[in-house]
Structure 1
Amino acid sequence: MNVGFLGIQYSFGLQQTAINPIFLYLGASEDMLPILNIAGPVTGLIVQPIIGAMSDKTWSARWGRRKPYFLIGALMGSLCLFAFPHSPVLWFAVGLLWILDVGNNMAMEPYRAFVGDKLPERQLSLGYQMQSLFVGAGILLANGSIVLFQYLFGGTSVEEAGTIPQWLYYSFYIGAFLSLTTILYSVLKTPEIPPSEEEMEEINQLKGLSLGKRIAKPFVEIVDAIKEMPKFMWKIGAVYLFQWYALFIYWQFTTPLFMKTMGYNTSEAASQAAKMSLTYNTVTLLVALALVPLTLRFGGKKIYAISLLGTALALFTIPYISDPYMVLVPMILFGIGWAAMMGIPYTMVSKVVPQERRGVYMGILNMMIVIPMFIQTLSFGSIYKYLLGNNAINAMLFAGAFFAIAAFLALRLNVKKAKMV
């Protein structure tokens, strides 16, 4: 059921580690990186809730409810990954990122709901932590391939301005293959549970509406769902505001950070950033399922808050380590935090939202992810340039402070007390 997440997250792994170096290769300045990444927040904000609402009201005896959407998304993502390293100029790469993000978001949201649809409540924690395991595995493979191919084919060649190194091509080709094949495996091997009689009646009623009303229906569903949203989701939105703002800073500025703290060129710094991601996703892979009994024993909010605090400590430490091997040590804490972020909130939300509206609420949860990212892409370029002195060290410390705030806010999460507004 979760195998398709391997391909989706391989693609996200490339976005986290390889996309920003490619922008730098093609002539972007460091303070441009936040705005160049605006595609992710905008497409996530628009695509995921709409696709979620549409998938709630979809059923095909042959293709199911969620599968058509993440299959089309995987195909779009696969084509973009194949083309990305061939970008001749910066604007072309930025355009491809927009299309890639549409595909990834179309695949991601119904996949989250798909797992919730299939599992009884007692297995939700295990299901979403297994999803977290595949998140780690996909990103691990993506970053491992970058490190491996630079080692095998990068050599000691000098960077050529305006040119993407050929050793980076191979990671994208693998991503194009995995994006489609892993999704196909889940589509072909995992049957969906048919809708109830009441759900089927509502789906049939929707088919009888005019085209205009059918197009408007997902937007109406989103507005209604927000009006009736559990208070718990508003609280988790506050956590996400700081958590995802900080994560976007980390992904954008690890390469510039190592150019400053270790004196690397762009290729060397990108490789070091890939090693960091390789390390923390290895930890995620190892601890994801171990978090299940811990959350059952101590409660999700405590484990989540402690994990976020550990991530903050990791980011406070990284800028002061100049040894390329010792700087991997804080990634243990980061990996534990990433495992918690990718599993625990989805388990919590699945328990407090109606099953028949899980798709739209997972889409709204993703809005809470992309809104902070959108704010970051618009605001952090100026913050970085004018308040943080164009200094990547200060950017990383800023992100650490935001993770500490997110940890404090996570202590307010309580699934049992969640009520409908």
Structure 2
Amino acid sequence: MATTSAAETAQLETRKPQVGWGQLANISFGFFGIQIGFVLQNSNMSRIFQTVGASLDDLPALWVAAPLTGLIVQPIIGHLSDKTWNRFGRRRPYFMTGALLAAISLLLMPLAPAFGAPLLFAAALLWVLDASLNISMEPFRAFVGDMLDKSQHATGYAVQTAFIGAGAVVAAIFPWLLEQFGVSNVAPAGEIPDTVKWSFWAGAAALFVAIGWTVVTTKEFSPEEMAAFESEREAEAGQSVRALAAKTYTSAAVWMALGLAVALSVSPLGLEKEILLLGALLAGYGLLSMIAISMAKKGQHANMLSSIVGDFSGMPDTMKRLAVVQFFSWSSLFIMWIYSGPIVSQYFYGSADPTTAAYNEGANWWNLIYTVQNGVAAVAALILLPALSRKIGKAWTHTTCLSLGALGFLGYFVLRDPNLLIVCEILKGIAWASILAMPYAILASSLPQAKLGIYMGLFNIFIVVPQLLVATVMGSIMKAFFPGDPVWTMLFAAGSWMIAALAMRRVAVAA
């Protein structure tokens, strides 16, 4: 008869308890509200900006707030939430702070036309709204890793993804539902339609209640409990900063030189002016790295800048390999969000003119099938991903789902029957579910708990950087090689997801 050794017994006692479906839902229900906020923002801000006086050419500069905010806020909040322990918890104070600020922003945004400088007011609120959503969102990623045993990470992030999909569907269809019940979808010049106003106000309430539900129904582990659970994978506090102190300034100088070269190439190569921002970011990171290395060399270890730069430069091997997957995964997604609507109208409904009925019919069809994609993601996250990850593992699950999504993008390139695009969106919905769940499940299972927040924040840099690249470089590529022919972007997107799928095989080796 087999007996359990003392070491095995101790290991079992220090494992986190298994959590049932009800508590899994409580842990991630707040993301339902966060996603409602993000979708309301993404779906309506261009409309609001144009309503209060922005031109079409102004929109890219106004929208740059979103990626920049995520790039700055998420690593900072991740670093701070790792080090926060008080009577309200570790992550939960950030949930409620972000929820309160985001709800206020959503309540005020539809009132922008009433202010003296409505465009400036709306642009400032977008910064506040995006920062607030990021304050809540980043700790939620780490929260699943905090609360669940490694064996439940895949299921936990799948449940979180299901709430993301459900929130996206609700936020996307709510303005349409309001219109069906007689709420006006049009407004005089300079005014925001009632459907948009009430969607933002209802979204503010839904966001606050959803995050509040997670806060009141979950109790975080104490620092002592977390130390016991993670004793085998705990990171020594100053390790990354001491490693940073051993570095030379060469890498920082290379980043600065690269940023300068990118900025100087804009005019000679006729690139989009937004690429100047990319150059500034590269040079800025180089400068911050130089300062952080200098502080570390002076023994100034207890500072946020050196900690963040040190953790970024010293990312674990699994995270580095996942970063490549994340980069190509999100490149395809931003291509989709920018170009899919015009492609459906131009190639499936025969019009590239926004003033025609055919163009708007295509735009409506895209909105509908995009909702299908989010609905499929919610269902796939609950049913397909947990079962598949148990059978073939998390890495192979993500590889398979990304490959299916690539076929969905190829469908846009080769098909011409708009009804068949539903199949494409189903395939892409499966990939979308996996993108939101599997990388985080793999990451949470391989990172030291003491730094889960900062590493999750740094990991999201590889969401932001592709957004900036697609918004700038892709426009230059299309103008140079495929002017007026946006369907070629779908081939780029398919190829990008296939590269991500292949890159997952390297993650499987490291994980």
Normalization by structure 1: what TM-score? 0.85
Equivalent residue number for residue 399 of structure 1: 493
Pairs aligned (count): 406
SS at match of 1:288: helix
1:277 aligns with 2:370: yes
Find the counterpart in structure 2 of residue 371 from structure 1.
465
Residues 250-399 of structure 1: matches in 2 within 5 Å?
A: 250-261=336-347, 262=349, 263=351, 271-289=364-382, 290-318=384-412, 325-399=419-493
Q: Tell whether 2:334 aligns with 1:248.
A: yes
Q: CA deviation at 1:304?
A: 0.9
Unaligned runs of 5+ in 1: 207-211
Alignment of structure 1 residues 92-103 onto 2, 5 Å: 92-103=121-132
User: Paired residue for 2:101?
Assistant: 76
Q: Which amino acid aligns with 2:99?
A: A
* Distance across 1 between alignment mates of 2:478 and 2:189: 24
- Secondary structure at the residue paired with 2:502? helix
* Conserved 8 A contact 2:318-2:507: yes
Give the secondary-structure state (helix, strand or coil) at the position aligned to 1:193. Answer: coil
Contact 1:38 1:377 in 2 (8 A): no
Aligned CA distance change for structure 1 residues 268 and 92 (closer, same or farther; 3 Å) = farther
Match of 2:211 in 1: 183
Summarize deviations over 1:283-333 as a string: whole Å, max 9, x none. 111111221121121122222122112222222223666665443331101
Alignment of 1:43 with 2:61, yes or no, is no
Listed one character per residue, the Cα deviations across residues 106-157 of structure 1 (whole Å, up to 9, x for unaligned) are 1111111111111111111111111111111111111121332344448897
- The 8 Å contact of residues 184 and 195 in structure 2, kept in 1 or not, is answered as no
For 2:486 and 2:89, the matched residues in 1 are separated by 47
Distance 1:32 1:269 in 2: 25
Of 142, 147, 158, 1:113 maps to 142
Q: Quote the sequence identity (%).
A: 36
In 1: Cα distance, 2:119 partner to 2:478 partner: 21
Give the Cα–Cα distance (whole angstroms) in 1 for the partners of residues 430 and 311 of structure 2: 32
Classify the secondary structure of the residue corresponding to 1:330.
helix
2:198 matched residue in structure 1: 170
Structure with the greater relative contact order (CA < 8 A, sep ≥ 6): 1 or 2? 1
CA deviation digits over 1:251-288, x for unaligned, max 9?
22333334434346587565434312310111111111
**Amino acid of the structure 2 residue aligned with 1:43:** T
* Structure 1 residue 193, shift from structure 2 partner: 0.7
- Deviation, 1:365, is 1.0
Using a 3 Å threshold, how does the CA distance of structure 1 residues 75 and 332 change in structure 2: closer, same or farther? same
Q: Distance in 2 between matches of 1:42 and 1:181?
A: 27
Residue 92 of structure 1: how far off its partner (Å)? 4.5
Q: Secondary structure at the match of 2:473?
A: helix
Q: Does 1:58 align with 2:76?
A: no
User: Residues 6-30 of structure 1: CA distance to partner in whole angstroms, max 9, x if unpaired?
Assistant: 000112222443334555666543x
Q: What's 1:209 paired with?
A: none
Letter in 2 for 1:361: Y
Distance 2:188 2:491 in 1: 32
Describe the shift of the 1:268–1:375 C-alpha distance in structure 2 as closer, same or farther (beyond 3 A): same
1:249 and 1:341 map into 2 onto residues whose CA distance is 15
Whether the 8 Å contact between 2:345 and 2:360 is mirrored in structure 1 is no
Structure 1 residue 228, shift from structure 2 partner = 3.2
Q: Distance in 1 between matches of 2:185 and 2:141?
A: 43
Q: Give 2:30's aligned residue.
A: 4
Judge conservation of contact 2:148–2:156 (CA < 8 Å) in 1: yes
Aligned counterpart in structure 2 of residue 67 of structure 1, from 85, 89, 92: 92
Separation of aligned partners in 1, 2:181 and 2:488:
34
Do the aligned partners of 1:3 and 1:183 also contact (CA within 8 Å) in 2? yes
Q: Contact 2:341–2:362 (CA<8 Å) still a contact in 1? A: yes
* Counterparts in 2 of 1:93 and 1:156: CA distance versus 1, 3 Å: closer
Point out the more displaced range, 242-251 or 337-346.
242-251
Q: Which moved more, 1:321-330 or 1:238-247?
A: 321-330
Q: How far 1:390 moved relative to its partner? A: 4.5
Return the match for 1:194 from 212, 215, 222.
Answer: 222
Q: What SS class does the counterpart of residue 389 from structure 1 fall into? A: coil
Shift of 1:357: 1.1
Residue 228 (structure 1) aligns with = 314
> What code does the residue aligned with 2:373 have?
Y
| RMSD (CA atoms) | 3.3
TM-score by length of 2: 0.71
Give distance in 2, aligned partners of 1:381 and 1:95: 26
Kindly indicate whether residue 502 of structure 2 is the aligned counterpart of residue 408 of structure 1: yes
Deviation of 1:398 (Å): 2.8
Letter in 1 for 2:440: Y
The letter for the 2-side match of 1:221 is: S
Paired with 1:169 and 1:383, the residues of 2 have a C-alpha distance of 38
Distance 1:104 1:156 in 2: 26
1:255–1:269 Cα contact (<8 Å) kept: yes
2:157 to 125, 128, 145: 128
Secondary structure in 2 matching 1:58 = coil
2:167 maps to 138
Structure 1 or 2, whichever has the larger Rg, is 2
CA contact (8 A) 1:144 1:274 kept: no
Tell me if structure 2 keeps the 8 A contact 1:125–1:343: yes
Q: Is the CA contact 2:373–2:429 (under 8 Å) kept in the aligned structure 1?
A: yes
8 Å CA contact retained: 1:35, 1:377: no
Q: Does the CA contact (< 8 Å) of 2:327 and 2:463 recur in 1? A: yes
**Distance in structure 2 (CA, Å) of the matches to 1:269 and 1:165:** 22
Alpha-carbon separation, structure 2, partners of 1:182 and 1:391? 42
Report if the CA contact (8 A) 2:179-2:185 is conserved: no
Q: 1:67 and 1:42 mapped to 2: Cα distance?
A: 24
**1:191/1:311 Cα in 2 relative to 1: closer, same or farther (>3 Å)?**
same
Provide the C-alpha distance between the structure 1 equivalents of 2:42 and 2:399, rounded to a whole number of angstroms.
23
Deviations 1:151-184 (A, max 9, x none): 4448897x97766443233322221111111111
CA distance in 1, matches of 2:339, 2:417: 18
User: Which one-letter code corresponds to 2:31 in the other structure?
Assistant: F
Q: C-alpha offsets along residues 376-402 of structure 1, whole Å, 9 cap, x if unaligned?
A: 334334334444324443333333332
1: CA distance, partners of 2:301 / 2:50: 40
